[in-house]
Structure 1
């Protein structure tokens, strides 16, 4: 079952498939963990039960995403031994310890406090529970730190020597804090927070369109749009700095992203808004661009020189056709995110923030945009690194295990079937919870028409108690 592809091509497709599934769930976990910490902090500070009820709702989504992220991560890591054993043999002395540090710090921290975070309400004190939530959120960020350090080292390797064909670490600080690491870490962190903010905003927008105007929905929508407004411009700035860093360390990747073939010696490089890069003809067909804008963005000079793809040997060129469009999908969605945030700010000022169905539909349709932009950015990064698995040091074809196309093809089919079934069910369950929406657990609004009946035991925790007081008594006291 080789599907007409070589073992190398199938192994790359398999890893791309599994990592694409995997990266979605840690992104949700990273963003929602911090959101949960903020919600619990607001509850402790104000004692407003709305924040506690929102916590109880979003912690269910977090728990599902966290579980699927762990499972998909374990499966993905096995491929280093099955399909990419040569990569592990040659560079394992660097990547192995970095991944081990992630387990020893982040995973143990998350595992140690996750149970208290999920099931500790009414069993531990409020500040002890908040501390657990903060530790879980910190753990997700530490995990991101080590994973991005390993991946960034593969993009911009330093701090090592090669002895008998094996990469040997020489300077761990140089390895961890390699030249592209700060930019990739910041870019990924902002992406994860935007993924979650857009998810929260879309969920609230759905219920606003259905007629809900209670504090749970309005608070979710407001907090999410403030987050998008704050993060989107910051992400644009980080992306600009990341591009300059990439131009310095991976010029072939930048040339492929821009569909730029000839080095511009006497004039500025245009910024192509549309085009179809042709790897065989070595040109970008049907190009529509803005003169000098490419040089201005990348070099901050109208006539800045940028190397073209023809400066590199054909076997050293990334696939410009793929990264040209994956990059533009990411940037295009980023522009729409900024438009969403600015429109929300304008509607706040005009008093129609919660009463604009067109805007709510916009926010709803933008819900998946964070995931799509994340994957498009990941494809740009990884395909743009090709043909290297460790940039300039080890080629991807040399990292492959001695496996046949039939073996890899069979396991790829199994992965596709199992992933679509298992993770499809998990995603469906998450969507059902979001469709149902947040519920009042510790407080029901004083109105003739109650928006929703209080739920009793979401996630199996002691939600019917607030500081040891039953829900019914709490509501009676509120009256």
Structure 2
């Protein structure tokens, strides 16, 4: 059945499927690497055992997530040469060097220090080990930097020229890397990674608090996660708003699809909350909308005119139903994250952060929300760019390799089967690790003995209950 479909559709489906699997792992490992650095830094500064227990607990999970992210990322790079050879040829002089910089400055940094981070605690000493953990965290950020620079150039190309072969060539590397959408997309994605990680950590902490609210490690991780959610969720909403305004300036068709604006509104556009987009008829059926609010959000004036897709040729329209709904999924989850952060602050003020079971159940339910929001945001970004791979310059239909449908269908089927088996097993193993409560004094620096290494003096013995009460 797949073999009879358009090879272009199959190639897009294959890349979309593999990138959907891949993106969840970096979005988790970026935030988790920073969380591990914070945990080890707090242990280094205070000597409190609970931070080292949490470090060891999450280090195992990080190692598996990082490995799955690397494996899934390698597959994507091969697809550029197999299914998208024309795109690779046209954009190679611009995108190729940036991909190489990602490997040299980010992947080598991560891989070089990852071994020390995972296995070197008893061999290199705490200071050097902490430095290695910091390098891994910095490496994950550099990886996000270069990958988003590549993707952002495809969204808002700048600093380029063309050669006689029709290839894009760099004229100004500063303009290529720091293209108009890159700063906004970098901030939005990195905050999304931190928020995703905080929701996972908070869900794991909530799971164990529902079983034993006196577990010090569970209390500590839940408290740290809720602080992050309370601080980052509103920051992410502000960053998303700035990113949306930048998108309106440089990719107006994408915003039209996000807002469901098939028609232009010269006297102020309504904010469409829900409805059924009809691409063929060019309208939103059964729309639930608030008059003129979209103009207020996007132009900061109720009567500001907003153009619709009717101002563009139909051949330049993105698939509105997909973009419309993925954007609403992302925004709805963002508002739920904000609600979780606010409720955690209320519980903290009332001294019930570790005793309020409804909050713990809410946090547990929100555990996967970050991944879903990241996927929804990525779908909004990538599908909203259609029908282009390089926005306004290179169409998707002109980017694919000249392959027959059966060949692409066979590779797509193989990817689906292998990914569902391999990554399902890896994910189940991570969930099994998360289901086990953090244990005090797990083997690490000196098995079976308190943590005592050069330059580290453990904190004086104190009443743990008093610390927990102060934390609440």
- TM-score bin, normalised by smaller chain: over 0.9
CA contact (8 A) 1:258 1:324 kept: yes
Paired position in structure 2 for 1:449:
none
Q: Look up the match of 2:221.
A: 220
Counterpart-to-counterpart distance in 2, 1:123 and 1:467: 14
CA–CA separation in structure 1 for the residues paired with 2:64 and 2:253? 39
Q: 1:14 to 1:462 in 2, by over 3 A?
A: farther
Give unpaired runs (5+ residues) of structure 2.
464-472
Q: Structure 1 residue 29 and structure 2 residue 29: aligned?
A: yes
- Equivalent position of 2:248 in the other structure: 247
Q: Give the aligned partner of residue 318 of structure 2.
A: 318
Aligned to 1:57: 57
1:76 matched residue in structure 2? 76
Show the 5 A alignment for 1:81-92.
Answer: 81-92=81-92
Where does residue 211 of structure 1 map in the other structure? Answer: 212
The whole-number CA distance in structure 1 between the counterparts of 2:275 and 2:169 is 43
* Corresponding position: 1:121 with 2:121: yes
Aligned-pair CA distance for 1:120: 1.2
Q: Describe the SS at the equivalent of 2:121.
A: coil
Q: Is 2:213–2:354's contact at 8 Å kept on the other side of the alignment?
A: no
Please give the per-residue CA displacement for 1:100-133, whole angstroms capped at 9, x wherever unaligned: 0000100111111111111111211211111100
1:46 aligns with 2:46: yes
**For the Cα contact (< 8 Å) 1:119–1:462, is it kept in 2?**
no
Q: 1:111, 1:198 → 2: CA distance?
A: 26
Q: Which runs of 4+ in 1 moved over 3 A?
A: 461-469
Output the CA distance in 2 between the equivalents of 1:107 and 1:303.
49
Per the alignment, in what secondary structure is the counterpart of residue 123 of structure 2? coil
Match of residue 373 from structure 1: 373
Question: Paired residue for 1:169?
Answer: 170
- Write the distance in 2 (CA, Å) between the matches of 1:312 and 1:302: 24
Distance in 1 separating the partners of 2:214 and 2:248: 48
- 1:464–1:122 CA distance, 2 compared to 1 (3 A): farther
Q: Is the 8 A contact 1:86 1:399 kept in 2?
A: yes
Alpha-carbon deviation of 1:305? 2.0
Matched, 1:237 2:223: no
Change (3 A) 1:33 1:345: same
Maintained 8 Å contact 1:201/1:220: yes
Alpha-carbon distance in structure 2 between the residues aligned to 1:434 and 1:3: 41
CA distance, structure 2, for counterparts of residue 131 and residue 108 of structure 1: 15
- 1:263 corresponds in structure 2 to 264
CA distance in structure 1 between the partners assigned to 2:452 and 2:37 by the alignment: 22
- Specify the SS of the correspondent of 1:178: coil
Aligned-CA RMSD value: 1.7
Aligned to 2:135: 135
Q: Displacement of 1:17 after TM fit?
A: 0.4
- Matches of 1:212 and 1:232, distance apart in 2: 25
Task: Decide whether the 8 Å contact of 2:144 with 2:186 is kept in 1.
Answer: yes
How far the C-alpha of 1:456 sits from its partner, in A, is 4.0
Paired position in structure 2 for 1:405: 405
Deviation at residue 303 of structure 1 after TM alignment: 1.6
Deviation at 1:478, TM superposition (A): 9.7
Partner of 2:302: 302
SS of equivalent to 2:122? coil
User: 1:269·1:293 contact (CA, 8 Å) conserved in 2?
Assistant: yes
Q: How many residues align?
A: 457
Query: Contact between 1:217 and 1:438, CA under 8 Å: does it hold in 2?
Result: yes
CA distance in 2, matches of 1:336, 1:383: 24
Q: Is the 8 A contact 1:258 1:271 kept in 2?
A: yes
Give a deviation string over 1:71-93, Cα, whole Å, max 9, x none.
00001110000000000001111
Q: State the secondary structure of the residue aligned to 2:151.
A: helix
1:342 aligns with 2:342: yes
Instruction: Tell me how far 1:423 sits from its aligned partner.
Output: 0.7
Cα deviations by residue, 1:349-385 (Å, 9 ceiling, x for unpaired): 1121111111111000000000000000000000000
CA–CA distance in structure 1, aligned partners of residues 65 and 264 of structure 2 = 45
Could you list the per-position Cα deviations for residues 419-473 of structure 1 after superposition, in whole angstroms to 9, with x for gaps in the alignment?
01111111000000000121112xxxxxxxxxxxxx446xxx865455567xxxx
Distance 1:125 1:219 in 2: 25
How does the TM-score come out when normalised to structure 2?
0.94
Q: What residue ranges of structure 1 are gaps of 5+ in the alignment?
A: 442-454
**2:185 corresponds to 1:181:** no
Q: How far apart are the structure 1 equivalents of 2:38 and 2:323?
A: 36
- Cα distance in structure 1, aligned partners of 2:306 and 2:208: 49
Which residue of 1 is the match for residue 66 of structure 2?
A: 66
